[in-house]
Structure 1
Amino acid sequence: MNKTGILVVAGMLLTVTGFAQYSWKNLPTAKQPVFRKDTLNIRNYGAVPDGVTLNTEAINNAIAACSRKGGGVVLVPAGLWMTGPVEMKSNVNLHLRRAATLLFTPDKDQYPLVEGVYEGRSAARNQSPIWGNNLQNIAITGSGVIDGNGEVWRAVGKGELTESEWKKKVASGGVVRKDGKEWYPSEQYRAAKEENMSMLLTPGKPLKDYAVMKDFLRPNLLVFNNCKKVLLEGVTFQNSAAWCLHPLMCEDLTLRNLLVKNPAYAQNGDGLDIESCRNFLVEGCTFDVGDDAICIKSGKDEEGRKRGRPTENGVIRHNVVYKGHGGFVIGSEMSGGARNLFVHDCTFMGTDKGLRFKSTRGRGGVVEKIYARNIFMKDIVQEAVFFDLYYFVKFATDSERDERPVVNEGTPVFRDMEFDNIVCNGANKAIFIRGLPEMPVSNIRIRNSVFNTTIGKEETDTKDIVLENVRMNVPVKQ
């Protein structure tokens, strides 16, 4: 470190094995859906844009009719369209014109209980506002707004709101926790949370048995399960009860020029969770959310390993992230693995962390061949580059670090990654890497990068971490 406080790390050319030589000129691609020009207007199926009429039947009838005729466009004109869950069908492009808003009803009875997925495991959920299973050639496009009406589902802490906002929330109904520090949407929600009821599906337990905690089973705004050739373009997705966009086990997925918004205090308010998908592109999108922004997942623990479907062959480029727990994130539910992912020319502003990788013992899965370049960060709250294999463990004790369990299918593996031209202006720490004694984080190369942070680098249980032409501008200790 010189007198100006600049720590220069250069020329640390360790012998690194296991990197796949992949050309940035030959990136993975996603096949695009193609639609007939035939257009059906939801007005012609009885939809009324008055913000009060429930248009569920009209919208779903239009989508079903379009699909039966061989596909095409279902048009949502300008207006405020109240609706319950919308079921997509193959070969349909749901197109929202400018000034069109799909507003999902606050009536929770309109959302039936279904067998879904919560954080990588099979669980009871309320039906997602937009959903589709086993479809091909589908899209949601245009320049309108899709609003999940999430505030009727979410709890919120008093400290997350201004005094006037808190008073308004309490006056709206619901239940306040005994200590006065958290508001719940209903007594049923409070009971489910405080009694730690499980939403996980178990053999022999029918869905109707979960009705006692229905209010607690917040739906993700959009879930597409096992679909092929999917396009989301131009639309604003906002105000989800839980995760916003959740493509699950999909192939050939494109998300382009979206605006994804959730309140900063939204619990599980992720922007995008790509789970066990292959061949995808995320470009030109803007995220401002209450949890991880762009997140890669592939199932949790044994269930995820049995599924055995990594998230792979993806390109994430030209995106901007504002609030969020992480800008680009892998984990912690990554038991099926992740590989061949390319992240470039993205901006993170004010996120808690920048590039965030997380897991823990018991997850398993291999995360490898992750490449990032031209990542620009400003005012990161915590770490710019973050790896932690003790997720949910605030501090690893000496005894935990000294433990060396036998490496097995539950041991997570993070290896073989290259980051180039990472620029961070403002963060508490530049780089934090905490692996496991029995499985170090290995073969990570960071090149041609600049970090203007309070603290430089901290690493534990690592192997072959290469910093080449990296500057860390940190304050000089007096």
Structure 2
Amino acid sequence: MKFFSGNLCRIQTALACLILFSAVQAFAQKTALPIIRQVSFKKDTTSIISFGAKGDGVFLNTESINKTIASVSQKGGGVVLIPSGLWLTGPIELKSNVNLHLKRDAILQFTDDFNQYKLVEGNWEGAPAWRNQSPISGNNLENIAITGTGIIDGNGGAWRMVKKEKLTESQWKKLLASGGVVSEDNKTWYPSQKVIKGSKTKSAGVIEAGKTAADYDDIKDFLRPNLLVLTNCKKILLEGVTFQNSPAWNLHPLLCQDLTLRNLQVKNPWYAQNGDGVDIESCKNVLIEGSTFDVGDDGICIKSGRDEAGRKRGVPTENVIIRNNVVYHAHGGFVIGSEMSGGARNIWVYDCSFIGTDIGLRFKTTRGRGGVVENIFVDRINMIDIPGEAILFDMYYAAVDPVPLAGEKREAIKTVLVPVTESTPQFRNFYIKNIVANGADKAIFFRGLPEMNIKDIHLENVTIQSKKGIEIIEGTGIFLKNVNVITEDTNPVVHVQNSSNINIDGLQFKKGSDLLFNITGERSKDIKVSGTDVSKAKNTSVMSNDVNKSTLSIKK
């Protein structure tokens, strides 16, 4: 008997150890950060002046700068110095083993002469397209950097169309006086007639078989370039520099590995169309730290291609660390999507602040994208003055500003069930904790698809002061622990529609709230509430007629 008892104890101990090991291993997988390889350069320094560059703001330095970069690369690499001065230039092409270094009082400004930018086969919002050559570009390079404390200015105002409603009257008059063309309704300014034609052309710039760059000349000015595009490059460092005033996106690494962005200033006017800060697309092993973004579209954004083209490429963005950054104006502070068709996974975001971003944490996609976004870890995020949602998951993304303009009316989403295919996107396995937001229109918003719910989302230790509370639509496996929503609108605090396996533990809300839970939709079920003083609300719950009354269970 003693023999069996001893063996049983050993078996139980072994089983307990196995369970503990599995739990520790799972935790380690969540917290183990990727390693990003760093650049290394020869100390040799060559000034662009030695190749005839002039920093007078008049001389066009394109040839001088590119010759300097090519020469240094051919000699095995080193530093190309942009010294003090205002350096006007056309497109610059980086080369392997070169560190382009800008002095503190150096401004590298790109010309507004569109003829200096040839049309090239590139990528636009996740799909192959003809674009004007980017001011700074690099293809199939290794060990490259842009460093220093100078300024790189893309002269984006020369490229962008602008809506009158986004400017003051005096700004609008000044813009008209600069030239360009105004729309027939006098509501939009365009740099040229080619931009107007391009804006009216369906799928403008999309690469078509048998067509050459010449076939797109009549809309060339519309095909705005991103300021910096690096494609298929390895070991990259962008550090200390200010990137500003981009024609479209500011920074666009595509299919790159071992990328570090550190202590950057990335800026655009708040109204800059497509004026994203950084778009990491189909990249692996990325670190973004200590940087500040104040831009016209999404701040820090993860992408991996759009629709069929993105799925065909099939390269996710993965192994990404984003820490110690500040985002001011942007459509979203940290964003994934909507072009995420190749997937995104293993991303850590922590110790960041969002100040006045339209949305704080923004995860967006739509039918047709496909792709899986999973294993996203967010910790210690602070936000103030968020005009939209503090935390948003939306699988009905439409290409409109996240916050409607004054007087703008938008149609309500019509929910229909469609079959699941390879073009059905998925959001799953998000772990978000230690979030504080002071001021938002809505605290938390989930909206999945009826055929593919948002799944396995964990929110813990969240405090949000907002006008509206929590809305969960088409979600499965939503876990809210120690969430405190301090809302103006308390009818209801939490709305659940066609969602299941909802676990709410330790919910805090304003005492005297009119209604705590409003539950609708015949697919709503298995909603569990614990550790919550529901008596603080005037009414605990209201359910629509198609909801089973056993759907909501409250454990006191």
User: TM-score normalized by structure 2?
Assistant: 0.81
**Which of the residues 35, 45, 56 maps onto 1:50?**
56
The answer for the alignment partner of 1:111 in structure 2 is: 117
**Which of the residues 165, 169, 185 maps onto 1:163?**
169
**Which of the residues 197, 200, 221 maps onto 1:191?**
197
CA–CA distance in structure 2, aligned partners of residues 175 and 107 of structure 1: 17
Whether 1:466 and 2:472 are equivalent positions in the alignment is no
Q: Secondary structure at the match of 1:53?
A: strand
Q: Map 1:168-179; keep pairs closer than 5 Å.
A: 168-179=174-185
Whether 1:340 and 2:346 are equivalent positions in the alignment is yes
Q: Is the 8 A contact 1:20 1:369 kept in 2?
A: no
Q: Map 1:67-78; keep pairs closer than 5 Å.
A: 67-78=73-84
Q: Map 1:10-49; keep pairs closer than 5 Å.
A: 21-22=27-28, 26-49=32-55
The answer for the alignment partner of 1:61 in structure 2 is: 67
Q: Is the 8 A contact 1:390 1:396 kept in 2?
A: no
Amino acid at match of 1:328: F
Shift of residue 409, structure 1, vs aligned partner: 0.5
Count residues in correspondence: 458
CA–CA distance in structure 1, aligned partners of residues 157 and 479 of structure 2: 45
The answer for the alignment partner of 1:442 in structure 2 is: 455
CA–CA distance in structure 2, aligned partners of residues 408 and 307 of structure 1: 17
Amino acid at match of 1:292: D
CA–CA distance in structure 2, aligned partners of residues 406 and 25 of structure 1: 36
Q: Secondary structure at the match of 1:328?
A: strand
Does the C-alpha gap of structure 1 residues 49 and 83 become closer, same or farther in structure 2, counting only changes over 3 Å? same
Moved more, 149-158 or 188-197: 188-197
The answer for the alignment partner of 1:288 in structure 2 is: 294
**Which of the residues 270, 279, 285 maps onto 2:276?**
270
**Which of the residues 355, 359, 364 maps onto 2:370?**
364
**Comparing both chains, which one has the higher relative contact order based on Cα–Cα distances under 8 Å and sequence gaps of 6 or more?**
1
The answer for the alignment partner of 1:209 in structure 2 is: 215
Q: Is the 8 A contact 1:144 1:235 kept in 2?
A: yes
CA–CA distance in structure 1, aligned partners of residues 423 and 433 of structure 2: 31
Amino acid at match of 1:228: K
Q: Is the 8 A contact 1:42 1:58 kept in 2?
A: yes
Whether 1:150 and 2:156 are equivalent positions in the alignment is yes
Q: Secondary structure at the match of 1:409?
A: coil
Shift of residue 168, structure 1, vs aligned partner: 1.0
The answer for the alignment partner of 1:256 in structure 2 is: 262
Structure 1: runs of 5+ lacking an equivalent: 1-16
CA–CA distance in structure 2, aligned partners of residues 36 and 179 of structure 1: 57
The answer for the alignment partner of 2:141 in structure 1 is: 135
Q: Is the 8 A contact 1:291 1:326 kept in 2?
A: yes
CA–CA distance in structure 2, aligned partners of residues 54 and 450 of structure 1: 53
The answer for the alignment partner of 1:411 in structure 2 is: 424
The answer for the alignment partner of 2:539 in structure 1 is: none
CA–CA distance in structure 2, aligned partners of residues 157 and 136 of structure 1: 41
Sequence identity percentage: 60
Shift of residue 195, structure 1, vs aligned partner: 4.2
1:307-349 deviation per Cα after TM superposition (whole angstroms, max 9, x unaligned): 0000000000000000000000000000000000000000000
Does the C-alpha gap of structure 1 residues 24 and 143 become closer, same or farther in structure 2, counting only changes over 3 Å? farther
Shift of residue 177, structure 1, vs aligned partner: 0.6
Shift of residue 188, structure 1, vs aligned partner: 1.4
Shift of residue 194, structure 1, vs aligned partner: 2.9
CA–CA distance in structure 1, aligned partners of residues 105 and 246 of structure 2: 19
Q: Map 1:350-429; keep pairs closer than 5 Å.
A: 350-392=356-398, 397=413, 400-401=414-415, 403-429=416-442
CA–CA distance in structure 1, aligned partners of residues 31 and 478 of structure 2: 26
Amino acid at match of 2:250: C
1:105-125 deviation per Cα after TM superposition (whole angstroms, max 9, x unaligned): 111100000001000000010
The answer for the alignment partner of 2:331 in structure 1 is: 325
CA–CA distance in structure 2, aligned partners of residues 385 and 205 of structure 1: 43
Moved more, 196-205 or 424-433: 196-205
Q: Is the 8 A contact 1:349 1:379 kept in 2?
A: yes
Backbone CA RMSD of aligned residues: 1.5
Whether 1:456 and 2:469 are equivalent positions in the alignment is yes
Q: Secondary structure at the match of 2:59?
A: coil
Q: Secondary structure at the match of 2:287?
A: strand
1:175-202 deviation per Cα after TM superposition (whole angstroms, max 9, x unaligned): 0111111100011111221344621101
1:380-439 deviation per Cα after TM superposition (whole angstroms, max 9, x unaligned): 010001011011186554xx42x3222111000000010010111000101000001111
CA–CA distance in structure 2, aligned partners of residues 265 and 127 of structure 1: 23
The answer for the alignment partner of 2:186 in structure 1 is: 180
CA–CA distance in structure 2, aligned partners of residues 202 and 140 of structure 1: 34
Structure 2: runs of 5+ lacking an equivalent: 1-22, 400-409, 491-512, 515-556
Moved more, 191-200 or 255-264: 191-200
Amino acid at match of 2:223: L
CA–CA distance in structure 2, aligned partners of residues 328 and 59 of structure 1: 35
Q: Is the 8 A contact 1:29 1:314 kept in 2?
A: no
The answer for the alignment partner of 2:510 in structure 1 is: none
Shift of residue 26, structure 1, vs aligned partner: 2.7
Q: Is the 8 A contact 1:429 1:455 kept in 2?
A: yes
User: TM-score normalized by structure 1?
Assistant: 0.94
